Structure 1
Amino acid sequence: MHDIVVIETLDPEAELDRLAGYYRNAGGTGVKFLNRLGGSAETLLDQLPVPVRDGLLEATEQALWLAIRAADQSRRAIRDQDPWINTAVTTTMGAAGGLGGLSTALIELPATTAILLRAIQGVAAREGFDPSSENVKFDCIRVLSAAGPMSFDDGADLGFFSARLTLTGPALQKLIAAVAPRLSVVLGQKLAAQTVPVLGALAGGGTNYVYSRYYQQVARVHFGLRRLSIDADIPHEDLVQRLSRKMLH
């Protein structure tokens, strides 16, 4: 008697439904809470002191360089953590950063960026990609250029998943230069919400909780689409269009 082998076939539509759920969950009640806490995404940046706003791009570029080095080094020593652990760590760091207002929040920024990047790398690894390979490493950094939780709108940023960066010359330097302007706006919104008077640590922990959850969910969609494209042999652009149609329903 021969054993019966059951081959499980991949259902692209079911997988796209799952990824659509992740994308919807990226913007949940926490995002709505932060918008009420700090105001709209458009007004949050106006709440920062002018010198801080003017220095955001440079601070973001420095945070990204530090995050890349820290994430790469930590992968050699510490295994990838479950998503809830990454969220808990960033929440704790945000609470500590919020205790001292804007000054400590600025100091905390590179460390939080590094944890977020490491969490994104963990998502890539769980989808079967090697975070140490150059193209996957670049994709992980690109996830940080998503719209950000303060500006979340179902389907509004789906173009991000199909966008391609054309890199010439020193590739990593070009990538940082391309990602930093958008991320600086997102981090500026985080800083403003994190320094709400009186709430302090609560606001800092809350913003980091939402940010960690948001970027891990976006990463699940990003690398999930890449994995589905490979496994189902469907062009990536077609999958993004099909996901976009699902987000409209």
Structure 2
Amino acid sequence: MNARSEPARAEPPQAGRGTPARPPLVRELLLVAGLFLVYKFGRQLATGHTADAFRNARRVWDGERALRLPDEGSVQSLLLHGDALVQSANTYYAAVHFPATVAFLVWLYLRRPAHYVWARRVLAAVTGAALVLHLLFPLAPPRMLAAAGMVDTARVYGPSVYGPPATDELSNQFAAMPSLHFGWALMVAVGLVVATRSRLRWLWLLHPLLTLLVIVGTANHYWLDVVAATALLGLAL
């Protein structure tokens, strides 16, 4: 796609239009690192809104029940059949989210540079929009909401990436909506389906499906967090 025909909206490269040059590595590293630091700093700005976060959590919980969505606890009950299973889910939540997205971008950069530029733009748009929502709508996760009656599986069974909310200075635990765990996982799957031609490429959709079960089952997200992330990704694609 040449400069004259490139639309403002991010869209996947089209076949048969040649392979664009790979973006300079140093520039991309600085760009991605800068975007990450802006996001982490922005999340910290959203901390300290405890009352709003719990008020919004009760609204989301009650709204889901009014919509007759399944209780998140029904998913968690599947994990609590064995310590090994719930610990595996906690590990997946803690260890797969960021490395999988980085590996996805690195592979695209090396093997599919045109798709890399597209995917990076989409991820940046989704993450930026998510930051705005985190600032406007702080939300405590189900594991903190007494009405949900769910177990904080990471705290009880380990491993956990979070400290006590009152003293955790490394993360914003009131940034449940939208779920970037799910949004990024879905983008990884969509990107790999678009960028590859194997008949087995649709199996990449198992990644967001497993992520969905993990983030809900570990009481880190509500169903509506997933809906919000999916909507943002749909708008960015």
| TM-score when normalising by structure 2 | 0.28
| Larger relative helix fraction | 1
Question: Which of the pair has the greater relative contact order for Cα pairs under 8 Å at 6+ separation?
Answer: 1
